[in-house]
Amino acid sequence: MSPRTSRVLAVIGIFAIAAGLGAAAMQDDGRTWKVHAKDRPQPDMVEPGRASTGERPGTAPSDAIVLLSEGSGLDAWSNGKWTFADGVMQVKPGTGDTLTKASFGDCQLHIEWMIPADRECNGQAGCNSGVFFQDGKYEVQILGSNPNQTYPDGQAGSMYGQYPPLVNPCRPNGQWNAYDIIFTAPRFAEDGSLLAPATATVFFNGVVVQNHSEFMGLTSHGSKAKYSKHDTEGRIKLQDHGDPINFANIWVRPLPERERAW
């Protein structure tokens, strides 16, 4: 055997050993699975809720934490001064915002809202609210936007003051609109520096209007957003902007971090 052949075989052997060690490490790691592993846990069965329409709110899936439904009352919310009847919660202008009593981190939030048919929308006036994550830090705008011309990063479905919605699928006043929001909380280092920004994917009446958009910082009005360190969990807030906005069928599903596949 020539010296060159010996060196080639030695290199091949080293790679084979490394590959074997890597495979063994992956098999022994409780967070990883082989491709198509038959012993990988099956996903839980979930009964989906009734889909919403412009005329009627939907219902929650079986594994959701229900925050507002036909029989819920306002037990999940901090502000008992907002009104509730037949599954609909309405802002009572001047009584302040309402927040969930529970806190959430990464989650899927479903919320349905309606601007009363007799409301006149004039820019940011008359038809305004907002849904906030993390104790009021990150807002997805709620606004009567069909029709209503205002600054684009303040339209319905915007990440307020940061990103306009990709399109405007808002229904007319008097009809129900639905948001499905996939929210990921930001991560911070011990020294307060930002490791990963907050993100949101927003489906507005089934249409994507934010696609894994990164918040530039905490929501603010008329000023540049910036981050400051906070907990990874916080309450969900609905805004009293002085307008009697209706809400229904609100539910949340906490989203755990996924295990690595391989």
Residue 247 sits in a domain whose CATH number is: 2.60.120.560
On whether residue 233 sits in a domain, the answer given is: yes
pLDDT of residue 234: 98
- For 74-93, what is each residue's pLDDT tens digit? 999 999 999 999 999 999 99
83 is a domain residue: yes
Which pLDDT score is estimated for 32?
75
Pairing of strands 207-214, 88-90: unpaired
Report the chain (262 residues): mean pLDDT per 10 consecutive residues.
52 46 44 84 95 94 97 95 97 98 98 98 98 99 97 98 99 98 98 98 99 98 95 98 98 85 58
Same domain, yes or no, for 88 and 205? yes
Give the domain range for residue 115: 65-254
Percent of the chain's residues with pLDDT above 90: 82
In this prediction, residue 30 carries a pLDDT of 52
pLDDT for residue 8: 45
Q: Evaluate whether residue 56 is within a structural domain.
A: no
Average pLDDT, the chain: 90
**Cα distances (Å, whole numbers) of residue 184 to 20, 74, 187:** 36, 26, 9
In a domain, 53, yes or no: no
Q: What's the confidence (pLDDT) of residue 79?
A: 96
Do residues 178 and 151 make contact, with C-beta atoms less than 8 angstroms apart?
Answer: no
Asked if residue 78 is part of any domain, the answer here is: yes
* pLDDT for the residue numbered 71: 87
- What pLDDT, in 10s, does the model give residues 185-226? 999 999 999 999 999 999 999 999 999 999 999 999 999 999
Q: Are residues 92 and 8 part of one domain?
A: no
pLDDT of res. 22: 46
Q: Among residues 201, 197, 126, 194, which one has the least CA distance to residue 159?
A: 201
Q: Are residues 92 and 145 in the same domain?
A: yes
State how far the Cα of 247 lies from the Cα of 76, in Å rounded to an integer: 14
